Amino acid sequence: MTEMNHNLNKESERIKELLKAAVPRIAEDAEPSRDLWPDVLRRLDREPVKVPWFDWALVGGLVVLAAAFPTAIPVFLYYL
Amino acid sequence: MPESSKNVLDRFRQGDADAFEEIFREQQTTVYRWILRIVRDKGTAEDLTVETFWRIYRAHARFDPARGFEPWARQIATHVALDWLRARKPESEITPAVEATLTAAGGSDPGVQAEIRTKTAEAFTRLPAKLRAAAVLAVVEEQPHKVIAGSLGISVTAVKLRVFRALRLLRKDLEHQGIRP
């Protein structure tokens, strides 16, 4: 059992060595090639405007109300 | 982030854009390096750094100053990097440029043949994203297990298990290719 564990550890260490040899470590001083702040601002601008769910519920309710009582539309518009 | 920046963090939490820029200026390189360690491609790491800070800004109200900014940012960055790794097809991951970097001068062990290095690198890209991230951070980048665990949102034991599984899968993949490690 101990010998099996020893062999497993040995194999594991060998794979680690192979991995280290195949995949070089990233330099400690690696830095972006440019200032990324303008990209962040652009990304923030691209964010779609989110409408809260209760706003959609209100619009849906008004549409249903208008369909059920069309004569109430002028009264509703008068009070807007 | 130093204690003197507590005020900036508080303002960021309230959605202050100037505070966000200040934090970005201070943290962008740290976040970039962390992502680069996982994705291994400079251009991609830059794009994902932008994506990470966008997510950070959107989540500003959920930020807990007591936990610290760096661990929180690292966790978001790790999720962004993992999403990217999952979306990529393994066979397309080693571009000629990346392969040259991996196999030419990059190896720390000159005794390991170039062909074995290439095959190991290819097998590495075929690992599942979460195992790959744990293995590269722990074995190649030698990051503390505790830091890796925090960034992945798992325990230290789970990190060790993922590394073990990654190494076992790598060994099996290499054996399948006729390489006996």
Helix axes B42-58, B17-39, angle to 10 degrees: 140
**Residues from A in contact with B at Cβ < 8 Å:** 11-12, 14-26, 30-34, 36-37, 39-40, 43-44, 47
Q: What is the mean pLDDT of residues B80-103?
A: 69
Q: What percent of chain A has pLDDT over 70?
A: 88
Residue B124 touches chain A, beta carbons under 8 Å: yes
> pLDDT tens digit string along B99-127?
555 555 445 555 567 888 888 999 999 99
Segment A15-37, tens digit of pLDDT: 999 999 999 999 999 999 999 99
Cross-chain CB nearest to B170 (options A19, A30, A40): A19
**Which pLDDT band, with edges at 50, 70 and 90, does A1 fall under?**
low
**pTM score over 0.80:** no
Best mutation target, A10, A19, A31, to test chain B (most B CBs within 10 A): A19
Distance from CA of B170 to the nearest CA of A (A): 7
Asked if A44 lies within 8 A of B102 by C-beta distance, the reply is no
The CA distance from A37 to the nearest CA of chain B, in Å, is 8
Q: What is the average pLDDT across B47-52?
A: 97
What value of ipTM does the predicted structure carry?
A: 0.78
Domain ranges of chain A: 51-80
Distance CA B131, CA B45 (A): 19
Q: How far apart are CA B19 and CA A54, in angstroms?
A: 31
Instruction: Quote the CA–CA distance of A78 and B27 in Å, as a whole number.
Output: 55
Q: Taking the mean position of all CA atoms in its chain, how far away is CA B126?
A: 16
Q: What is the end-to-end Cα distance of chain B in Å, rounded?
A: 43
pLDDT at B69 over 60: yes
Using an 8 Å CB-CB cutoff, list chain B residues near A30: 32-33, 36, 42
